[in-house]
Amino acid sequence: MTSLLSNVIPQERKNWFWLAVLAVIAIWPWFSGIFVLHLAILTCLNILIVNGLSIIGRCGQRSFGHAAFAAIGAYGSVLLATLANWNILLSGLAGMVLSAFVSFLLGWVILRLKGVYFVLVTFSFGELTRLALLDWSELTGGANGIANIAPATIMGFVFDTRPRFYGLALAAALLSIWLMKKLFSSHFGHAIDAVSDNPALAESTGLSVHKIQLVAFVLGSSLAALGGVLLARYIGYISPESFNTSASIAFITMFVIGGQRSIWGPLVGAVVLTPLPELFRGAVQTQNIFYGVALILILRFMPGGLVSMMDWLKSFRKARP
Amino acid sequence: MDWSVLLVQATMNGLIIGLLYLLMAVGFTLVFGVMRMVNFAHGEFYMLGAVTVYFFTGVFHLPFLVSVALTFFGAIALGALMEWLILQPFRRDELNGMIVTVGLAMILQNVALIIVGPDPLSMPAVAEGTLQLGSIVVPNSRVYVVGFALLVLALLYIFLRYSRPGRALRAVVEDFEIASIQGIRARIYYPLGFGLGVGLASIAGALMAPIFSVSPFVGAAPLLKAFIVVVLGGLGSIPGAAFAGLVLGLCESYASLFFDSSTADMFIFAVVMSMLVLRPKGLLGRGEA
Amino acid sequence: MSQELLRVEGLSKNFGGLAALHNVSFTVSSGEIVGLIGPNGAGKTTAFNVISGTMPPSAGTITFAGKDIAGGPPSKVVVAGLARTFQSTSTYPQVSVAENVYRGMIARIAGTAVAKIAGRTTQLVAADQVSAEIDKILHMVDLQSWRDVPAGSLAYGLQKKLGIAVALAAQPTILLLDEPAAGLNHEECNELAKLLRQLQQQGLTLLLVEHHMALVMELCERIVVLVQGEKIAEGTPAEIGENPAVIEAYLGAPDYAHA
């Protein structure tokens, strides 16, 4: 079944080949060692979080403080689980609701800022959150963070081994991708694109730019919060440094390198960049130089990100007789 | 201890830090004013300044003033070259240009890490001895640093106020549209603005190297400060950046007598966010929101 | 049939010390084509901006279909049935013509916010209808052969027509057109006149800001004249063409009237 107006609106066509490739990549970690599973879990969580960033990005805004919402989700859910003895479903939901509330208030005020100014405010918000987490140490443990976080338990099933948690993380990542697909083929998704392409025109056709951006911002931040909730249950430890500016910048990097204007961008960005440290085997500096160079080259020569390269390859294959 | 002594000491420290913030911020606002771009690599140029001066004095044994001068002009040249080679395609695309500077920052910091390693290095003292001012004791090295900083500022002032390229640069910073209508050519002023901007950051790093330690990680804090000062003083306002830099340095110094640092930092970021929302022009600035 | 649709009363708009509009009043009745003319700087576009809700008035009321719409926001005003076009081309250049029209409809067809996000119920129900409606609008403005072409690659005249199509997608009861003939050649202008008449026949009410005198005189049933923010005359084209104050304001209006 094709989605709404498929012959009117250009759709990304399902290419069974790529889906098969993805399926293999998704299943492979269960047949590999613990380390591959570890990377796969982190990749899935990154996919989830960067999808959130990309919803905000599709509105034309770049959030340089995205990790702050992962932090709110993580700390919120962990504190509620420990203090109020709530299970993961309840505490996770509460963490997301808390993050949604904060992002609603923040977004209400800052979304009318454009471009660079929005970046600076979100950057400041990220720093502010980190400092707050450090400062309110009776609650958050300060610089020491919170350790010994209990693993996620859903209806008796405990996600305390890597293979099990990978299932959870993979489900969350796939859910977020499904959400993106649904969202951007819906009326609201097209409205988001309209708002980012020509806000004055969109407003004059009856679309409330402010409301649309706000909903997108809250939605995107909630996905980050979910990522934080899961990260806390996986690593078992969170600290303010888990969600600092470097993390926000890493998310932006994945977003840009993967593809800023595509549903698959975050997936590609996360898949390519998360396991990369392994290739560099401890030469962290060389790895970071590579990130920096890749970022600049992509922005310069392939602003659509790696995803656009795949489109180019696909069209090349089709063009051959 | 005597309060007046503490206060004067805090004032002295505040002025020194304030000068540092001023140099960083003026450079940062220069880049923003000319290119409408937030330069996330600004802190790394500070770091480069510090590292370069360390090499010139520690390894090549050049006199401090010579090292600083070489660093300054080298940084201007490097900055201009980078603008011309890397940032040029983003002259009309500030959002992506900003992300490019993030990449640049990553590259600069890690190249430095490879060359110098992560451990802090300390520079040989610029001067020996101390200066006695009433009951205050100031190390001579700090006196020299303040002196050089003031010299740089004086030169900058003369340049911006009395030289043709300087005045043109100010025109571009203060009103970009009018400047381009008057035909001030982007080809020269973009590299010049960026080069001079990061040159100031490098000089700040070079001058502060004898006071603070030198390592590839010293760039992060000055970047945050530059950014805070510039927002408070007004993005695109040179006098605003200068004024706010000094004020911030002094405030931080006095505040440290009473508050702990993280509360003060949180407060400052809250103020920054409020300024961006309520008064993006800053306390003195005239840039558009 | 001629009931009052839009009533502007005592409308004033100040920018700092400058009065861009001062005490302007006029009405537009259902089914009319009314022209708003005046020399440059008369405040015509400001009037449009205020009426469509882009900026609030400094004084005065704007009543549309009995409701007070002053202050906007534009999105609310559109939902009430008042749409506008812009002086510069108002399109989404990177996407197709059909997508442009679709985006003009979203506010109308997507229902409540919740339905907007879910996208599901409205989607299944309206899929074919939406496509058919897009085609109907494109047919009306004669753009159907450019359906899948990126809007930015269209010729200027066609882009202006697309701007009108996007405004029509909101199914307004009144359409405000800001200099629709600007930059059009003679043939395109005639086509525009034909289109606007067709729209009127289909029940749409039109308020035009225009400099192209021949078009205004030919098309409009009534004309309101603004000079430096104030209304100096109102009447039929014939009356306006002979009004000494108008002639004085335009210096050579008689030539225009006979163009």
| Contact at CB, B96 and A299, closer than 8 angstroms | yes
pLDDT at C120: 44
**Shortest CB distance from C119 goes to which of A8, A10, A187?**
A187
Average of pLDDT values for A7-31? 72
Chain B closest-CA separation from residue A128 CA (Å): 6
pLDDT higher than threshold 50 for residue C67: yes
- CA dist., res. A265 & res. A77, Å (int): 28
- CA dist., res. B7 & res. B11, Å (int): 6
pLDDT higher than threshold 80 for residue B17: yes
- CA dist., res. C64 & res. C82, Å (int): 8
**Shortest CB distance from C131 goes to which of A5, A207, A219?**
A5
Average of pLDDT values for A110-133? 89
To test the contact with chain A by mutation, choose from B90, B273, B277, B279 the residue with the greatest count of A C-beta atoms within 10 A, namely B273
Span C25-53, pLDDT tens digits: 999 999 899 999 988 878 888 898 899 88
pLDDT tier, A9 (very low <50, low <70, confident <90, very high otherwise): very low
Q: What is the mean pLDDT of chain C?
A: 84
- CA dist., res. A86 & res. C136, Å (int): 56
Distance from the first to the final alpha carbon of chain A: 29
Please, how many CA atoms are within 13 Å of residue B220, restricted to the half-sphere of its CB?
Answer: 9
Span A123-159, pLDDT tens digits: 999 999 998 998 888 888 888 888 888 888 887 788 8
pLDDT at A275: 82
Task: Give the three-state DSSP class for B186.
Answer: helix
pLDDT at B181: 67
For the ranges A56-65, A209-218, B249-258, the lowest mean pLDDT is seen at: B249-258
pLDDT higher than threshold 90 for residue A51: yes
Q: Which of A65-69, B64-68, B222-226 has the highest mean pLDDT?
A: A65-69
Query: Which residues have C-beta within 8 Å of that of residue B216, sequence separation ≥ 6?
Result: B47, B51, B109, B110, B112, B113, B116, B118
Nearest to B210 by CA among B150, B155, B139, B119: B139
pLDDT higher than threshold 90 for residue B282: no
Nearest to A193 by CA among A174, A216, A219, A221: A216
pLDDT at B150: 86
pLDDT at A270: 93
Show residues of chain B in contact with A296, CB under 8 Å.
86, 100, 103-104
Span C228-240, pLDDT tens digits: 888 888 989 888 8
| Contact at CB, C119 and A208, closer than 8 angstroms | no
Contact flag for A and C (3+ C-beta pairs < 8 Å): yes
pLDDT higher than threshold 80 for residue A280: no
| Contact at CB, B102 and A131, closer than 8 angstroms | no
Which chains does A contact via 3+ CB–CB distances below 8 A? Answer: B, C
Count of A-B CB contacts under 8 Å: 106
pLDDT tier, A257 (very low <50, low <70, confident <90, very high otherwise): very high
pLDDT higher than threshold 50 for residue A10: no
Element (H, E) at C12: strand C4-15
Span B249-268, pLDDT tens digits: 888 888 877 777 777 788 88
Chain A residue nearest residue B271, CA to CA: A124
pLDDT tier, A8 (very low <50, low <70, confident <90, very high otherwise): very low
Task: Give the three-state DSSP class for A8.
Answer: coil
pLDDT higher than threshold 70 for residue C251: no
Show residues of chain A in contact with B224, CB under 8 Å.
127
pLDDT higher than threshold 60 for residue C119: no
Element (H, E) at B125: none
Which chains does B contact via 3+ CB–CB distances below 8 A? Answer: A
pLDDT at A21: 83
Chain A closest-CA separation from residue B234 CA (Å): 12
pLDDT at A117: 85
Structure tokens at C143: 């753009």
pLDDT higher than threshold 60 for residue C190: yes
Q: Which residue has the higher pLDDT, B279 or C210?
A: C210
| Contact at CB, A207 and C86, closer than 8 angstroms | no
Chain A residue nearest residue B36, CA to CA: A116
| Contact at CB, B289 and A134, closer than 8 angstroms | no
Element (H, E) at C82: strand C82-84
Q: What is the mean pLDDT of chain B?
A: 83
Residues 176-235 of A with CB under 8 A from B: none
Rounded percentage of chain B residues whose pLDDT exceeds 70: 90
Span B178-217, pLDDT tens digits: 666 666 666 788 888 899 999 999 999 998 888 888 889 8
Task: Quote the ipTM score.
Answer: 0.84
pLDDT at B184: 64
pLDDT tier, B135 (very low <50, low <70, confident <90, very high otherwise): low
Span B69-104, pLDDT tens digits: 899 999 999 999 999 899 888 887 888 899 999 999
pLDDT higher than threshold 90 for residue A65: yes
